[in-house]
Amino acid sequence: MSQHYQHDILVIGSGAAGLTLALTLPEHLRIAVLSKGNLANGSTYWAQGGVAAVLDDTDTVESHVEDTLNAGGGLCRIDAVRFTVEHSREAIEWLIDQGVPFTRDDQTAREDGGFEFHLTREGGHSHRRIIHAADATGAAIFNTLLEQAKLRSNIELLEQRVAVDLITERKLGTGGQRCLGAYVLNRASGEVDTFGARFVILATGGAAKVYLYTSNPDGACGDGIAMAWRAGCRVGNLEFNQFHPTCLYHPQAKSFLITEALRGEGALLKLPNGERFMPRFDARAELAPRDIVARAIDHEMKRLGVDCVYLDISHKPADFVKSHFPTVYERCLDFGIDITQEPIPVVPAAHYTCGGVLVDQNGHSDVPGLYAIGETSFTGLHGANRMASNSLLECFVYARSAAADILSKLDQVQAPAPLPSWDASQVTDSDEDVIIAHNWDELRRFMWDYVGIVRTNKRLQRAEHRVRLLLDEIDEFYSNYKVSRDLIELRNLAQVAELMIRSAMQRHESRGLHYTLDYPDLLPEAKDTILLPPTYGD
């Protein structure tokens, strides 16, 4: 039997953004944090590089802002960039206070007898400003925040809960637009439960799973973006999908990212014959922004007809490599690759969704009571290309800002009245799940082929035609059969894919991560691509 739950705060997503918000709010609030798999299944846990922040005396806010604007292809919103960077140090100090074990630099002693934290450099940055925990920063941050959340009696951590849709006043026909909660599939019981809340936060990550090859875990299906769109929220800049230049190329190495920090510490990209190629594409060579490096690799692979290129750090001392990159070293060794002796085969893979749900500086969306933080959101920080390690920073800064905004509005918002249960009276169990698997595979393949690193009008038109057929098939299936995680994710992925394609078709230029052979030049004026849902402004 389905259950009804009531909380002050409902956080959908258990990664860096969601946990930070929950921990920042006071302990008298009842908070539910939902994870659609195990708590560690999100992207945060797998982040390797680190968090960009102005921490060193030789670095400045202005320098970090300028680097971000340069990487963003003219589309970063300066107020969002400055807001994020100006709050970077306090966000890191908060993480340190939580107990995150960032790597310390044992070469430089502080006057108080302690040691400075080690900072590394990544593509697009003019300074060493990436604070990290070896090459497993995401795991260190996630594990620390999770342990802190488990100590808080007011935070309920719920696993295997898949959000189906948001509940709004508009959908209930009661007048008004406010978000009141969500319908959530309990994978253990198979029932769809009802969660009511005074405030709902989408912290569900990005949508890189829409592509056949991705560095993201399986859950990165754009759930929050799709749910917010259906609830009446605008979305922006979804044509900008970042492809990480270097994922391990090996038949058994599913989604293993080779951190950009290797290039920050001197690793070189090479062709199969050992020749470097990045200097031919950009003066910054291996330290150019990710969009440039990914396109260069894609170009060389297609030019030569090869399956991969190589990332070589074997010229560095073996002890240095093992101490700075223990995770990469061990994982590659599992596949018979000793990175201290030989280069790493790499390929680009879908990595980060730069667009998302439009929000203000407090993470608040167009729908009252609904917030979006982290990769789900579109704050304007990343512009047309996210600079390395700014994404985790955005999670912490905007989660803390959203928490402060919620706190300021608590007295104005009462708990919603009891919400209606999920109606499953007209659906049956599916005996055709092969359709879901087939549609999932087809969607990801044509998105990779037609809406990938290099695009054309013809490719986008083909993708648009296919995704509309798929949406019709999925809608019919959704209307007649009981929901499952696979069906929910397919429905959301197809919706976000359609929004990505529409956004790409509207941009008649090549800017940042959106590169099209039909419009290779920049337009004189940089404009965001904003899509309005059918219900916007009702």
Active site (annotated) includes residue 280? no
Nearby residues of 191 by Cβ (< 8 Å), 6 or more positions away:
1, 2, 3, 185, 422
CA distance 266 to 320: 11
Catalytic residue among 30, 290, 331, 444: 290
Beta strand segments in 35-160, E:
51-52, 104-109, 115-117, 119-120, 130-131, 155-158
Residue 287 structure tokens: 């330290």
* Strand 51-52 to 130-131 pairing: antiparallel
* Strand 192-202 to 268-270 pairing: unpaired
DSSP 8-state assignment for residue 314: T
Q: What is the largest CA-CA distance in the chain?
A: 70
Pick from 463, 465, 483: nearest CA to 474? 483
Residue 536 structure tokens: 């916007």
Residues 343, 312 contacting (CB under 8 angstroms): yes
Residues 13, 376 contacting (CB under 8 angstroms): yes
Q: How far is CA 235 from CA 3, 178, 217, in A?
A: 32, 18, 23
DSSP 8-state assignment for residue 514: B
Residue type, 527: K
DSSP string covering 236-290: E-TT-EEEEEEEE--TT-TT-B--THHHHTT-EEE-TTS-B-GGGT-TTGGGS-H
Residues 144, 96 contacting (CB under 8 angstroms): no
- Residue 310, SS3 per DSSP: strand
Separation of CA 82 from chain center: 21
CA distance 206 to 440: 17
What amino acid positions are annotated as catalytic residues?
A: 290
